[in-house]
Amino acid sequence: MDKAIRPAPPTDPAQHSRSPWTPVANTYELLIRAVVDYAIYMLDPQGRVVSWNPGAEQIKGYAAQEIIGEHFSRFYTEEDRAAGVPGEALRAAAETGRFAAEAWRQRKDGTRFWAMVVIDRITQDGQLIGFAKITRDLTERRRAQLAALESERQFRLLVQGVTDYAIYMLSPEGRVSSWNAGAERIKGYAAAEIIGEHFSRFYIPEDRASGLPGRALEAARRDGHYEAEGWRIRKDGTRLWAGVVIDSIYDDGVLIGFAKITRDLTERREVQLELEQSREQLFQSQKMEAVGHLTGGLAHDFNNLLTGITGSLELMRTRLGQGRTNELGRYIDAARGAADRAAALTHRMLAFARRQTLDPKPTDPNRLVAGMMALVENTVGPQIAVEVRTAPDLWPTRCDPNQLENALLNLCINARDAMPHGGRLTITTANAAVDPRQGRAQGVEPGEYVSISVADSGVGMTPEVAARAFDPFFTTKPTGLGTGLGLSMIYGFARQSGGHARIETEPGRGTAVQLLLPRYHGATEAEEGSTASAAPARAGDGETVLVVDDEPTVRMLVTEVLQELDYAAREAADGASGLRVLQSDARVDLLITDVGLPGGMNGRQLADAARQLRPGLKILFITGYAENAVIGSGQLEPGMHLLTKPFAMESLAGRIRAIIEAD
């Protein structure tokens, strides 16, 4: 490019006779002389220096009087001069108008610097009269570039030397663009085989079919980072368990690719699986031991109770044969007492297993505790001081109030037994909030709860005893003085009600058992007034009850009760048979059905089908075992009722009449 600027005059006036330039003092000259970061000087057509600015002196190290008239090639390195680089630079500038380059140059003291060089041709009337030359010292920038290049080189060598990790790059579309030795070892592909291929080939077929590779890249693109573990596939088709990290790489806001690191964790995975299998085997062993302990204790207690029942029945038969009927009442009472204890044992077992049939209602714990105080004080005796601390603003809860009373009474009895020489029993109610951290530690869902605790000043428990306190049939009482089911029943009731139970104890300092029951957002029902018991009314003309139960003895007893009350009774042994009766024209005023029925249709399904055929039909479920899924989350539809086995026949009779007469 031809330059229109005119050169500054030589600094040394003696040089004027050798210079073809006409000195001109103007603003360009003042500007050039003010620049110190650039070497700006002029050359004649042969390449000799004819002007020199302060920047040139600072960068090159020569004063003007030392260099004007000298050839500019002395600034080049020895090897560049030998190669004729200075002459090539001038010829290029003369022919094309401009020469530009970056290269090493040499100062007066022999040190080198990295220079950016521009040489522009200057003509006058079409004739070459010289060159304008600008040089800038870029040594620091060059050093930084070289350092970056060296760092990159070392990083590449490091990456290539890593064999425990597959480290490679992907294009924005997911194609492999680099491949290290670790990738070759882990994946089985040489670089020449895999560069340019899509990384999804490392995924197992089912993951490719589900679109997992695309989702992984999308997550890395969206979040900047993706991390996962899963099965991957090698070149030979074998699988490895891989830990995978994908990071997105952006340049000026534009995605240019992904960095991907894979580690073979197959051995670790196998160890984990072995540990999990060992834990599962240990759990199964412990479970079988617990089941054996449970069934052994259950069999022991039931055998005792059955002996009382069967022995009483045998003696009744003997005395009837002897005509000694005056002794029958004693044997009947003994059999009935043993049967009641067996029913209580079953009830406790179901409570522990969280399979008991509950009748949850909105409950005010403060009112329930207050109503129990006379019973509690009479039970624990005068040696124990009873203190009640109730929260004035206590939330209501929703639970089975009868079961809550039983649980609290059992806790008070345990507290009494822990204070054989007297002491203090404290019942406390409070509102409680469980945060996620506490919930994880205690095994309870976070939320709002009502806390009811029973604390004593008794002997306390050792950590070993406390750890097993909720286990069924575990007891520290002498043989015959406890079944070991009291605390397990309480724990099961709390868990089945959506809450939790926990123990705080210390030997010699007493024990506190806390029940946490979920807060109920609503009003509690008004306390029902007591009603005097009365003999059940007789049936109306033609009133009919359908009884569906797979146990013949139960059907026989229920039918006997119905006939005593002048009801017509129809029987069915399973759901299908009962459904056929309901599909007929037979009159049915009430359906009594067990929940667990054979033949593929349970009692709840039969009830739903009955409501389709006979809308508004009244239904009474009789059951000793009811899953919430069958009963419906503890909620029964209007006109549906529940009676838990075993039940007294007089209770059944009164319930039947009340249901039929209800609006």
Give me the pLDDT at residue 359, please: 66
Where does a domain end: 352, 375, 408?
352
Poorest-confidence range of 110-114, 285-289, 376-380, 636-640? 285-289
What would the pLDDT profile of 295-343 be if each residue is shown by its tens digit? 655 565 666 667 767 777 877 888 788 888 887 887 787 777 777 777 6
Residues 392 and 508 in one domain: yes
Pairing relationship of beta strands 112-124 and 98-106 according to DSSP bridges: antiparallel
- Provide the token pair at 488: 């397990």
Residues 69 and 212 in one domain: no
Residue 98: exposed, middle, or buried by beta-carbon count in 10 A (0-12, 13-18, 19+)?
middle
What's the whole-number mean pLDDT along residues 394-416?
87
What's the whole-number mean pLDDT along residues 167-185?
88
- pLDDT above 80: residue 126: yes
**Is residue 7 in a domain?**
no
- pLDDT above 90: residue 198: yes
Mean pLDDT of the chain: 80
**Is residue 19 in a domain?**
yes
Poorest-confidence range of 73-87, 516-530, 587-601? 516-530
**Is residue 557 in a domain?**
yes
Which of 164-192 are b and which e, b meaning 16 or more Cβ less than 10 Å from the residue's Cβ? ebbbbbbeeebbbebbbbbbbebbbbeee
Q: What is the CATH number of the domain that holds 505?
A: 3.30.565.10
Q: At what angle do helices 401-417 and 365-380 cross, to 10 degrees?
A: 40
Q: What is the CATH number of the domain that holds 48?
A: 3.30.450.20
Give me the pLDDT at residue 414, please: 85
Residues 322 and 208 in one domain: no
Give how many domains the chain has, as a whole number. Answer: 5
State pTM to two decimals. Answer: 0.39
Residues 560 and 478 in one domain: no
Give me the pLDDT at residue 155, please: 55
**Is residue 301 in a domain?**
yes
Q: How far apart are CA 522 and CA 364, in angstroms?
A: 11
Residues 79 and 168 in one domain: no
Residues 473 and 557 in one domain: no
What would the pLDDT profile of 470-501 be if each residue is shown by its tens digit? 766 556 555 444 444 567 778 877 887 888 88
- Can you tell me which residue has the tokens 């492999």? 176
Q: DSSP string spanning 78-99?
A: HHHHHTTHHHHHHHHHHHHSEE
Give me the pLDDT at residue 650, please: 77
Angle CA 600–602–606, to nearest 5: 105
- pLDDT above 80: residue 16: no
Where does a domain end: 502, 518, 534?
518
Question: Amino acid identity, residue 221?
Answer: R
In the three-class reduction of DSSP (H, G, I as helix; E, B as strand; rest coil), residue 342 is classed as helix
Question: Cβ neighbours of residue 608 under 8 Å, at least 6 residues apart?
Answer: none
- pLDDT above 90: residue 552: no
Where does a domain end: 264, 290, 306?
264
**Is residue 152 in a domain?**
no
Residue 295: exposed, middle, or buried by beta-carbon count in 10 A (0-12, 13-18, 19+)?
exposed
Closest CA relative to residue 300, chosen from 514, 482, 522: 482
Residues 377 and 507 in one domain: yes
Give me the pLDDT at residue 465, please: 80
In the three-class reduction of DSSP (H, G, I as helix; E, B as strand; rest coil), residue 272 is classed as helix
Residues 335 and 236 in one domain: no
**Is residue 151 in a domain?**
no
Give me the pLDDT at residue 480, please: 44
Give me the pLDDT at residue 270, please: 79
Phi-psi region of 132 (alpha: psi -120 to 50; beta: other; left: phi over 0): beta
Tell me the helix, strand and coil percentages in the chain, rounded to 5.
45, 25, 30
**Is residue 486 in a domain?**
yes
Domain of 282 in residue numbering reads as 275-352
How many whole angstroms from its chain centre is CA 65?
A: 81
**Is residue 2 in a domain?**
no
Residues 299 and 225 in one domain: no
Asked if 501 contacts 495 with a C-beta cutoff of 8 angstroms, the reply is yes
Residues 463 and 591 in one domain: no
Residues 374 and 341 in one domain: no
- Our CA dihedral for 274, 276, 279, 281, rounded to 10 degrees, sits at -70
Residues 326 and 206 in one domain: no
